[in-house]
Chain A
Amino acid sequence: MSQWLNHVLERASTVDDWLSPVRAQALDTLKQQQWPTRRTEAWRYTSLHPVADLELKSSTGNATAEAPVIEGLNSLDLVFVDGQLSTDISKLKLPEGITISELSAPSEPAEAIFAQVKPSRHLFGLVNDVLAQQGVVIDIAAGAKVEQPIRIVNFASAGIESHQRTLVRVGENAQATIIEHGSGSGNSLNTVFAEYDIAEKARLEHYRFALHEGEAIHIGGSHFKLHDHARLNSTLIGYGSQLTRLDVDIEHAGEHAFAKFNNVYLLAPRQHFDLHSTIEHASPNGTTEENARGIIGDRAKAVFNGRIHIHRHAQKTLAELNNRNLLLTRGAQINTKPELEIYADDVQCAHGATVAEIDEEALYYMLTRGIDRQQALVMLNFGFVQEMVFQMPNKALADWLQPILKTRFESMMEKQ
C-alpha cells in the first residue's frame, strides 16, 4: 500500500469544480486499483518506492518562469509552473483556426474533456484525472493548417507535487504541431498527461521532451486516437531521472491511419527511464512504424515495453517496431520487451530488439583510424540516436536538440 496514494484519495474528494462528475468516475476506478508491486506486470522493472510514501507540498501558484528559447521555433508557448498556468491566454495572439481554453473554465460537457482517449488502466493517469486542476484544451478547427507550433511547457520545482493536463482536438483535415516540453530537477513529483483526438484526414506533428533529471519524479502519458486517414508523426526524447515513466498509447480507431513514432532516451548515470508504448490496431489498413533507441549510462536503468495489439478484424495492418540499445558500462541495465498480440491473419507485423549490436564494417573502419573499440562502438551508437533527431520534421527543433544531446552524451561517456 501507499501513504501517498491514500493522501491522493483524500485530496481528490476535496476537489470541486465543473469536472467533478467525471472526476468522480475516475476516483471510483482509482479506489479499486492495487498499489503496484514488482509482480504487477506494468511496473515489473520500475520500483515505485520513491513515490509510495512521498509527501510534498502543492504549488502556491505564485511562481512564474520563462519558456526556454529555441531559436527559429517561434512557438506559441503555454507555460505551466508546478501545474499552474502562468501564461495569460487572453494576451496571446492565436493563429487562425486555433481555440485555446483553460481546463478550469467550463466550456462544454465534462465528459468531452476527460479520458476520451487515455485508457483507464494507467494508475497515474487516474491520479491526474482526479487532481489536475489546471490545463489546456486546444482545438484546431476543421481544415485549418496551423504552421506555428504550439508548445506546452511544464516546469517542476523542487519540493512540490503537481499535476497538469492537456487535451488537443485536431479537426477534420486540419494540421498542427504540438510540443510538450517538460523539465525539473529537484525532488518534485509532476504528472503530465496529454490526450490527442485526431479527426479524419487530419495531421499532427508531435513532440514530447521529458528532460527531467536528478531527483525529479515525472510520470505521464501522451495518448493518441487516430480516425480514418489520420496521420501522426511523434518524437519523444527522454533523459531519465530518479524516476521517469511515460505511457504512450496510439489507437487506430479509424481505417487507413498512419503513425510514426520515434523515441530516444539518453540516460545519465543512475537515472531511471521507463517507456511503455501500446499501439492498438483496432481497425483495418492501419500502419505504424515505431523506432526506439537508447543509450544507457553508468548504473542507469532503462525499461522499454513496446506493445502492438492487432485486433481481430484489423486486417491489412502493417506494424513495425524496433528497439536498439547500448549500455555504456557494466552497471547500466536495460529491460526491453517488445510484445505482439495478434488476432488477425492478413497482416504484416514485425518487431526487433537489440542490445549492443555492431555494424562491423563501420567499426573496423574506425579501429583502423586509431579509435579504441569501446569508443568506436559508442560513437556509432550515438550516430543511430542522432538519426532519430534528424528525422524530426521540425528543423528548428532538430537543430536545437542535436548539440544538447551530443553534449549530454559526451558527459555520459566521461563519467564511465
Chain B
Amino acid sequence: MSEQIDQALARKYDAGFISEIESETFPIGLDEDVIARLSAIKGEPEWMLEWRLKAYRTWLKMEEPDWAHVDYPKVDYQSISYYSAPKSMKDKPKSLDEVDPELLRTYEKLGIPLHEQEMLAGVAVDAVFDSVSVVTTFREKLEEAGVIFCPISEALHKYPDLVKKYLGTVVPRGDNFFAALNSAVFTDGSFVYIPKGVRCPMELSTYFRINEQNTGQFERTLIVAEEGSHVSYLEGCTAPQRDENQLHAAVVELVALDDAEIKYSTVQNWYPGDENGKGGIYNFVTKRGLCEKNAKISWTQVETGSAVTWKYPSCILKGDNSVGEFYSVALTRGRQQADTGTKMIHLGKNTKSTIISKGISAGRSNNAYRGLVRMGPGAEGARNFTECDSLLIGDQCGAHTFPYIESSNPTAIVEHEATTSKVSDDQLFLCRQRGLDPEKAVSMIVNGFCKEVFRELPMEFAVEAGKLLEISLEGSVG
C-alpha cells in the first residue's frame, strides 16, 4: 500500500488543459446553464455538451425509483453544487491532529501507514516530483504496452474519438434515473483502453489516476478492452474516506470485445454515518458490462458502510460463448440498508453466468439481494448458476432475497439456490473453547462464509477485504 502512496505523492498534476476559472465552485442548483459551464470549465468538445444536455432533458422527465426495501429521505437535487474546485492548500487540515480521531482510529486498525492516512484524510501534502519516481516508471510501462489509463476528462481531450465511440453504449443516457443524472453532470472518472491482444502488464488501481478532489460524487468510468485483451481493474479502498457528499451516483461501463477479458474488483468501505445512520453515504451506482463473442467480464465486490446502497453490476452476454461472473460480499450493520445484486442478460448462444452472493446482516440492518437472470429466446444452450447465501448476526436484522428468473429458451439452464443461516452456536462454542473470544470467532467464521468470493479478489484486495470485515463486525457481536 505504501508504494502506491509514494506514487500518488509523486504524481504530476497536468494542468495543460484546465482553464483559469477552474478555481471556482458553483452555487447550488442544476439547470442547462450549470451543465454548460461545467462542460466549458473542462474544455470539453461540443458533442460532449450536447450529450450531457440530452441526458439532462431525459432526466427531467424521469421519476426517482422507489424500492420497497430501501428507505431514505429524498434528495433535493437543487441543493447540491455540481462543481467544486479542488481544495486549495490552505483550506485543508494541516496535519492529522486536525482530523476526526474516529477516522484515525480506523486507519490505525487497518494498519495504514502515516502518509496514506494523511492522503485519505485530505491533509495538505506538498507534491514532490521525482522524475525517476515509481509513478513515472508505471506510466512508462503502460505506454509501452499501448494501454491508456487516465482521467476521463483527459481522455476527452487526448482521445475524444475513442470516448465518443463507446460512451453510453453500455449504459445509455436514459437507462435509469441516476444514470441519466450522472450522464448530465459527471465530473470525472477513469478511462481505460487496452489495445488488441494486449495483456495489461499490471493491475490498474484508482490510486494511479490523477485524483481531483470531490470528483467522487458523480463518477463516470469507461473501460474498453479490444479483441483478445485482458485487464484487471481495482476500485476503492478499505479506509473510509472523509466525504461531504452524501449522494454518490456513479456509472461504470465495461466493453469487452471478442475474446477480451475484464476483471473489475471493488473493495469499498463507505462512511456509515453515526449510530443512527445520519450523515451516511447514499450510494447509487449503475455498473454494466457488454460481452462480445467469447468475452468475459467478472465483477467482484466487497462492500460495507454506506447508509443506503443501490447497485446492480450487470453483464449483457451478447456474444456467443461469452461469460459473466458476479462475486459479492455485502455487509450491513447498524441501521444500514443494502439492496444490491446483479443482472445477467443472456442473449447469445452458450453464454454462461455465475453469481455468488454472500450477504451478512448485523445490528438492525437489512440486506437484500435483488437479481435478474434472463435467458432470451436466442440463448441456446446457455447456463446460469446462482448461489445466494445470507448470514444473520443477531435477531434484529433482516436478510432478503428477490431473484427474478425469466427464461424463454428451452435449452437454457438456470439453477438458483439460496440459503439463510446464522453463525451456529456449535461453531461459536468450538472457537471459544479453543481460546478465541466471541468477536474474533464470529469474524473468522464470517470470513470462512465469504471465502468463495474473497478467492476471486486480487491478492492484496483479499487481505484488505478480510481486515475490513473484521473491523466492520466489531461491536456487532454479543
**Tally of A-B Cβ pairs under 8 angstroms:** 113
Task: Please pick, from B395, B398, B408, the residue contacting A341 in the complex, using a CB distance under 8 A.
Answer: B398
In the bound complex, residues from chain B placing their C-beta under 8 Å from that of A337 are 402-405
- B410 adjacent to A329 (CB under 8 Å): yes
B402, closest chain A residue (CB): A339
Query: Are A356 and B413 also in contact (CB < 8 A) when A334-B405, A336-B405, A347-B420 are?
Result: yes
A residues 340-381 with Cβ under 8 Å of B?
A: 340-358
Of the candidates B393, B398, B414, B420, the one having the most CB atoms from chain A within 10 angstroms of its own CB is B420
Interface assignment of A315: CB less than 8 Å from any CB of chain B: yes
Q: Mark B407-438, 1 if CB is under 8 A from A, else 0.
A: 11111111111111110000000000000000
Is the Cβ of B418 less than 8 Å from the Cβ of A340?
yes
Which residues of B in the span 163-217 have a Cβ within 8 Å of any Cβ on A? none
- Selected contact of A328 from candidates B400, B405, B410, CB within 8 Å: B410
- Are B416 and A342 closer than 8 Å at their CB atoms? no
Shortest beta-carbon distance from B141 to chain A in Å:
46
> Bound complex: CA of A351 vs CA of B389, how far in Å?
10
- Within A151-187, the residues touching B (CB, 8 Å) are none
**Judging by beta carbons under 8 Å apart, are B408 and A327 in contact?**
yes
B395 touches A353 (CB 8 A): no
Across the interface, name the chain B residue whose C-beta is closest to A320.
Answer: B419
CB-defined interface of B358-402 with A at 8 Å, one 1/0 digit per residue? 000000000000000001010000000000001011111111111
Give A194 Cβ to nearest chain B Cβ, in Å.
28
In the complex, the answer to whether A332 meets B413 with C-beta atoms within 8 Å is no
Q: Are B405 and A353 in contact (CB under 8 A)?
A: yes
A335 at the interface (CB under 8 A from B): yes
Whether A345 contacts B410 by the Cβ 8 Å rule is no
Please classify the interface of chain A as helix (H, G, I), strand (E, B), loop, or mixed, using the class held by over half of its residues: strand
Task: Tell me, yes or no, whether B22 is within 8 Å of chain A by CB.
Answer: no
A326 touches B (CB below 8 Å): yes
Q: Which residue in A349, A353, A355 is a CB contact (below 8 Å) of B420? A: A349
The answer to whether A338 and B395 have CB atoms under 8 Å apart is no
A38 within 8 Å of B (CB atoms):
no
Whether A277 is near chain B, meaning CB under 8 Å from some CB there, is no
Interface size of A in residues (CB-CB distance below 8 Å): 37
Min CB–CB distance B297 → chain A (angstroms): 23
B130 within 8 A of partner (CB): no
B108: Cβ under 8 A from any A Cβ: no
- A355's closest neighbor in chain B, by CB? B414
Q: Say if the beta carbon of A7 comes within 8 Å of chain B.
A: no
Q: Are B375 and A346 in contact (CB under 8 A)?
A: no
**Residue among A335, A342, A345 with most chain B CB within 10 A:** A345
Contact residues in A for B419 (Cβ distance below 8 Å):
349-350
Q: Are A354 and B402 in contact (CB under 8 A)?
A: no
Compute how far the CA of A357 lies from the CA of B395 in the bound complex, rounded to whole angstroms: 36
Q: Which residues of B sit under 8 angstroms from A334, Cβ to Cβ?
A: 405-408
Q: Is the CB of B401 within 8 A of A330?
A: no
Once the chains are docked, how many angstroms separate the CA of A28 from the CA of B419?
A: 40
A312 within 8 A of B: yes
What chain B residues lie within 8 Å of A188 (beta carbons)? none
A340 interface neighbour in B400, B405, B414, Cβ under 8 Å: B400
A331 at the interface (CB under 8 A from B): yes
A333 CB within 8 Å of chain B: yes
Contact B418 A341 (CB under 8 A): no
Choice from A336, A342, A345, A350 contacting B393 with Cβ under 8 Å: A345
Is A340 a contact of B401 with CB atoms below 8 Å?
yes
Given contacts A328-B410, A355-B413, A356-B413, contact A338 B394 (CB under 8 A): no
Q: In the bound complex, what is the Cα–Cα distance between A353 and B422 (angstroms)?
A: 22
Q: B405 to chain A: which residues have CB within 8 Å?
A: 334-337, 353, 355
Contacts of A331 in B (CB 8 A): 377, 408
Assuming A330-B409, A334-B405, A335-B405, what are 6 further A-B pairs, CB within 8 angstroms? A334-B407, A339-B403, A345-B393, A353-B403, A354-B414, A356-B414
5 A-B pairs with C-beta separation under 8 A: A315-B395, A335-B405, A335-B407, A348-B421, A355-B414
